[in-house]
Chain A
């Protein structure tokens, strides 16, 4: 499993791997928002939690279709399926690799971008924590979606349509946690619920992903 993780990370940072693409997209979306809504700091700081969360969600979505598509095309997926590595484990590793190359950089960059949106100073810690807890769920749910659409031509759009509704709970609780933090309220409830979604998706979705992959490989 470590070998697969290292290979995926290595492929991501080599030429054409798409590392940093999500991060650049996140940066651009967040920079565009003040141009769109105008420079009023009060308005910006009120919508900042939602903007940051929606932008990171879209950035995570951007690289989802690569999770299995490349391995499917060159035959690695069939070879992995016949290797001693269980497909459930491979699914979890793929999600983890996606998180390390997408979710983690987003999380680390978010506070800097929160500054651009004049996010309330009290909210920075909660922004970091909520993204840290929430983005793994985005990767795992996205991996499941990628498995569903692997082998389909132009599966990327279908993938977005399948996955975005599943992202709604994470988005609601994530943005709510940051907003409560900004208002000086206790965000523990929202954070706990989001942690529950992450834990639940990592417990269940690898099995669903592996089952779907087996059907798609037939």
Chain B
């Protein structure tokens, strides 16, 4: 479902990863590993289409990709349910009935986004992935500031709801999510300093 071929991506005009290739089948996940600064976020942003690839391409069904990072897009002046409803409406998807239960947000339903703790915000941000109905998820450190229980909650949702329904996920993480998924270490793909292309990117 997701096929990446010989992808080179750059940050601030400097190529950071080169020649990345992998395939992810329907219902499977891929865990990205690598030290800080190796280019996990850059790769995920490139895959999600937020920045252009220097070379190569990623193929997945159009309008099926979704990106999630530490910035959850939560509006502090809207309640939990209003935040979720907004993203469901933007994506033209119905709000799943059990979504609040799945991410343990039922008690917080009418709380304002601004009054949530960091971990609760994170759960709300992840619940967004459950309402937008996208098949190909690009997750950048989804478990930051989650406690052990919530990590398990999220891993369960990813495995038993998203992947089981034929979704795909590429997850950059430093912890063990307990998913049955192959891992890809990005260190060997680190771009050499003389990799050309995109040198004028920084000025655009």
Known: A3-B90, A82-B49, A217-B51. Contact between A75 and B69, CB under 8 A?
A: yes
In the complex, which residues of chain B have a beta carbon less than 8 angstroms from the beta carbon of A217? 50-51
Interface size class of B (residues with CB under 8 A): 20 to 34
Known: A74-B71, A215-B204, A217-B51. Contact between A80 and B90, CB under 8 A?
A: yes
CB distance from A117 to the nearest CB of B (A): 36
In the complex, which residues of chain B have a beta carbon less than 8 angstroms from the beta carbon of A83? 87, 90-91, 132
> Cα distance A218–B13 when bound, in Å?
10
State whether B65 touches A74 (Cβ < 8 A).
no
State whether A82 touches B48 (Cβ < 8 A).
yes
> Cα distance A83–B67 when bound, in Å?
9
Closest CB pairs A-B (n = 3)? A75-B71, A3-B89, A76-B73
Interface string of B67-91 (1 = CB under 8 A from A): 1111111111110001000110111
A-B contact pairs, 25 of them (CB 8 A): A2-B89, A3-B90, A4-B90, A7-B75, A7-B78, A10-B77, A11-B78, A14-B78, A74-B72, A74-B76, A75-B69, A75-B73, A76-B73, A78-B67, A79-B67, A79-B68, A79-B73, A82-B48, A83-B87, A84-B90, A85-B90, A215-B204, A217-B50, A218-B50, A218-B51
Most buried by B among A79, A215, A217: A79
State whether B77 touches A17 (Cβ < 8 A).
yes
B66 located at the interface, meaning its Cβ lies under 8 Å from any Cβ of chain A in the complex: yes
Most buried by B among A16, A73, A218: A218
When C-beta atoms are compared, the residue in chain A nearest to B201 turns out to be A218
Known: A3-B86, A84-B92. Contact between A15 and B77, CB under 8 A?
A: yes
State whether A74 touches B75 (Cβ < 8 A).
yes
Q: Report B182-200 residues with CB < 8 Å from chain A CB.
A: none
Residue in A81, A84, A215 whose beta carbon sits within 8 Å of that of B91 in the complex: A84
> Cα distance A80–B69 when bound, in Å?
13
> Cα distance A206–B87 when bound, in Å?
22
In the complex, which residues of chain B have a beta carbon less than 8 angstroms from the beta carbon of A15? 77
In the complex, which residues of chain A have a beta carbon less than 8 angstroms from the beta carbon of B132? 83
When C-beta atoms are compared, the residue in chain A nearest to B10 turns out to be A218
**A74-B71, A78-B71, A84-B63 given. 13 additional CB < 8 A pairs?**
A10-B77, A10-B78, A71-B73, A74-B72, A74-B76, A75-B69, A75-B71, A76-B73, A81-B49, A82-B48, A82-B66, A84-B91, A218-B50
In the complex, which residues of chain B have a beta carbon less than 8 angstroms from the beta carbon of A218? 50-52
Chain A residues touching B, majority SS = helix
CB distance from B58 to the nearest CB of A (A): 13
State whether A11 touches B77 (Cβ < 8 A).
yes
> Cα distance A215–B203 when bound, in Å?
11
> Cα distance A81–B194 when bound, in Å?
32
State whether A78 touches B69 (Cβ < 8 A).
yes
In the complex, which residues of chain B have a beta carbon less than 8 angstroms from the beta carbon of A84? 63, 90-92
In the complex, which residues of chain A have a beta carbon less than 8 angstroms from the beta carbon of B48? 82
CB distance from B112 to the nearest CB of A (A): 9
CB distance from A142 to the nearest CB of B (A): 21
When C-beta atoms are compared, the residue in chain A nearest to B113 turns out to be A74
> Cα distance A16–B112 when bound, in Å?
13
CB distance from B45 to the nearest CB of A (A): 8
In the complex, which residues of chain A have a beta carbon less than 8 angstroms from the beta carbon of B63? 84
> Cα distance A16–B167 when bound, in Å?
39
> Cα distance A17–B112 when bound, in Å?
14
When C-beta atoms are compared, the residue in chain B nearest to A73 turns out to be B71
In the complex, which residues of chain B have a beta carbon less than 8 angstroms from the beta carbon of A85? 90
State whether A78 touches B91 (Cβ < 8 A).
no
CB distance from A16 to the nearest CB of B (A): 6
